[in-house]
Amino acid sequence: MTLNELNPKNRRAADILIANDRGGYTVPSAKLYPFQWNWDSALVALGFSIFDPDRAWQEVESLLSAQWDNGMVPHIIFWKVEKSYFPGPDQWGTADIAHNPPTSGITQPPVAATVIQRLLAEDVDDIDATRDRAAKLLPKLDRWHQWFLDARDPDGLGIVAIMHPWESGRDNLPDWDRPLSFIDTTGVGTYHRRDTDIVNEDERPKNNDYDHYMALVKFGRDCNWDTATISRDCPFWVAEPGMNAILRRAERDLIAMAKLLGMDDIATRAASRLARLDTGFEKLWSDDVGGYVTLDLRRDEYATGLTSGSWLALFAGHVEPKRAGKMATTLSHWLTQVDRGVPSFDPNHELFDSIRYWRGPVWAMVNWMIATGLIEHGETDLAERIRADTEALIEQSDYREYFCPVTGRGGGGSDFSWTASMSLYWASRPTGDVINSPVLTPTTPEQEAK
């Protein structure tokens, strides 16, 4: 499909991606986030794939080009100097590690493999060229996924930890409140936040939260982002279902691509990692809460609420029917408590905040992942409700970073790339149109063994 063939709504979404294109990479939002963000960038490629497949491939290629020597793909890539953003390269202190360009010192959920799998399945204009591009990226994905187990699960628990809330991609979840409370912030010093110069304060993390975020940045910088020191000594060491679910899905998609392309060594390594991750993920199930929840690994404490990341267990792979049914029932109840779903935190919980960053708002790209998992577990009606809610929120409040589930008000950045991308790729299209890629993606352990 070409730009001229898009309907007016989709053309508006495409124009946002084009406006945020910086020549091979896309910024999430021109004023608020002026660099390349890891999972934003990968998800943006899905939107480009609708009208410019070559540009979609460029997006993931530029992202993976910034991979560190140890395999990590950083969460921010500072391709150019931009003094308006904080924390910038000086605060991260990675110049000797990341080389050029400078980057942050942490990663984000590895959704790139899932995106590349879809690009590979859908780009049929030149199959040989598409497979060649994918084949060049698979070794990078393999190294990144291995980094997660080496650096964030060195004890072999089968669940990867995050050392900073930002690493989860869901920066300000109430799940982080208690683990962060144990962090000493006395050495942080003074700084000027830029985000609240652009966005209303009631939509962003509070200053106390930011002090703790910056204390963790200082910790990483002081140890030169050494993974052994981080895993041993970082005061924030937390496993949460969203990151782990996305990694499990990524391994499944990597296995499928590697088998298709005859890269059997990568498929074998990914399958070994996946077996460990599938087993470990069950440690995050809480009978008390009735779902997959965050686990503070330093104190062996479970979070008391479900988040939108809890439902990504269905996106990760096969969930046994009894649990999947319970999760669908709970999610349906959530949707009776709000006007539009899916809220990022339990709307019945005392810490729910409908408009503050990740403490309640709806995010289009998380909705897509949740709906994908629901369809793959037979919950098509619930998936369609989530798609329709996402489309309605965008129609009401335009392409904002996120949305209030109670009023539909948009929050955060405007003309937001991944919201535009999700609209193009999924929310404005009939359920089942592109939500599954059955040619490449097995969904059960039995299918993966074949």
Which residues belong to the active site?
171, 401
Give the integer Cα–Cα distance in Å for 203 and 410: 10
Mapped onto helix, strand or coil, the DSSP state of residue 347 is: coil
Q: Is the dihedral of CA 410, 416, 422, 428 positive or negative?
A: positive
In the structure encoding, which two tokens stand for residue 404, read together? 């209030």
Residues 233, 161: contact at Cβ < 8 Å?
Answer: no
Q: Which helix (H) or strand (E) holds 272?
A: helix 264-281
Residues 355, 409: contact at Cβ < 8 Å?
Answer: yes
Which amino acid type is present at position 77?
I
Give the integer Cα–Cα distance in Å for 290 and 205: 28
Q: How far is CA 337 from CA 234, 332, 442, in A?
A: 37, 9, 34
Residues 372, 437: contact at Cβ < 8 Å?
Answer: no
Which amino acid type is present at position 181?
S
Residues 217, 236: contact at Cβ < 8 Å?
Answer: no
